[in-house]
Amino acid sequence: MWKYHRYWKALPHWSIPDAFSPQTKVSILIPARNEAANIEACIQSIFAQKYPANLFNLIIIDDHSSDATPVLVRAMKKKYPQLELICLSDLQVDQDHIAFKKWALEQGIAKANGDLIVSTDADC
């Protein structure tokens, strides 16, 4: 571990060049189930980053939450137009034969319009 640490510290510091101008459209997918305690902070942190707003969209996929997660996301949509909500409970599926997180990501990917798709969790 000490060697890894030493070599990591020896790597030169990298920063974004001043003339850099992003061009890649990014879709961010977040499957969420009962994340009312975390979802607002997660969404705010994504929209606080410096990537141009016209080059990304955020898709929250609600996985049958029994708390206020979808309500909070809908309320935040007024402030963030690039935010989209998919509620799995609104879609027809055989619930006995499905892995909901995988299906949530599949639904988000189907709606994504970015050249690059990124996924994270609602409690990050």
Chain-centroid distance, C-alpha 3 = 34
Chain-centroid distance, C-alpha 78 = 18
Q: How confident is the model at residue 102 (pLDDT cuts 50, 70, 90)?
A: confident
Sign, CA dihedral 90-37-119-79, equals positive
Q: How confident is the model at residue 16 (pLDDT cuts 50, 70, 90)?
A: confident
> Could you tell me if 43 and 80 are in contact, meaning their C-beta atoms sit under 8 angstroms apart?
yes
Q: pLDDT tens digits, residue range 34-73? A: 999 999 999 999 999 988 989 999 999 998 899 999 999 9
25-to-18, 36, 44, 70 alpha-carbon distances in Å: 20, 28, 19, 25
> Could you tell me if 121 and 46 are in contact, meaning their C-beta atoms sit under 8 angstroms apart?
no
Write down the pTM of the prediction: 0.82
